[in-house]
Amino acid sequence: MSAPTVRRRRLGAKLRALRDGRGLTLEEASAQSGGRITVAKLSRLETAQSAAKAVDVEALLDQYEIADAELRAAMLALTREGARRGWWQSYRGVLSPLYEDLISLEAEAEALYTWQHSLIPGLLQTAEYAREIIEATAMSEAVDAKIDALVEVRLARQAILTRENPLVLSAIIAESALSTQCAGEGVMRDQLARLLLLSKRPNINIQVLPSNSPPHVGQLGAFSVLGFEGHRDLDVVHTESLTATSYVEDQEQVSVYRDAISRLRSAALPVEVSAERIAEKRDQA
């Protein structure tokens, strides 16, 4: 059996919360379904040991009398995305399961709030900048052999910013990340120009946190909050280090990261002033 994905765990946790909200035990919920969903099956769904089917999730939502159309849509999206073959699955053997999880969650989320203290966020990178970053952070020959494919994947992920219902991206970038000395001529200038171009899209907000800012919570590391607007208990936090990628799913902890994003947004330059700062850095690159 494959390990449960972040998506399945979030869906299972929400199904359990909805059942608990109705004051039902597993046995009572199964009985209410007329035995269609057995105790064992419901337990496997709630603990993410089995992939959910849309028909079962919809039946449970009906059974729990969930009328909230947005919540139903969000949960069914999580379910159907898990069953759908995503474009990224053609890169199996290149991507780790945790990276596939991230791409899948980005595809499902309505909003993404990210803080980066040393890099331009992946969803905003040019191909040349992405290649230099991937090459610089590759710590094994196995990764070195996959660089071309990893650059392709990083660029393909960006389609969520221009789809029919685009992801809303709020990026806070440390000013020092705008001054990276890339090896390729014009790489950083082109990257900054791309930031300025993307910042004109209505679904993308980019803010710069000045280098002379006082101590702040972002100094503890980069992170992203993947949001399902209106249903925060489905939100997930993604963190990454040199040796590990992890997800924060406990909602009390997720709330701490949301507060951190709020503090960083308040400390950063306004969007318009940030664009001016980025333009200055571009002209100097």
In the three-class reduction of DSSP (H, G, I as helix; E, B as strand; rest coil), residue 88 is classed as helix
Query: Mind listing the pLDDT tens digit for each residue in 69-113?
Result: 888 988 888 787 655 667 888 888 888 888 888 998 898 889 999
Is the full-model pTM beyond 0.85?
no
In the three-class reduction of DSSP (H, G, I as helix; E, B as strand; rest coil), residue 167 is classed as coil
Query: H/E element holding 116?
Result: strand 111-116
Query: Mind listing the pLDDT tens digit for each residue in 159-215?
Result: 999 999 999 999 999 999 999 999 899 999 999 999 999 999 999 999 999 999 999
Percent of the chain with pLDDT over 70: 96
pLDDT of residue 2: 45
Which domains occur in the chain, in start order?
A: 6-83 (1.10.260.40), 91-284 (3.30.870)
Quick check: 50 pLDDT over 90?
no
CA 228 to chain centre: 10
196 and 279 in contact (C-beta within 8 Å)?
yes
Quick check: 3 pLDDT over 70?
no
Quick check: 233 pLDDT over 90?
no
Query: Mind listing the pLDDT tens digit for each residue in 21-42?
Result: 999 999 999 999 888 899 999 9
Taking the C-alpha atoms of residue 236 and residue 75, their distance in angstroms, rounded to an integer, is 14
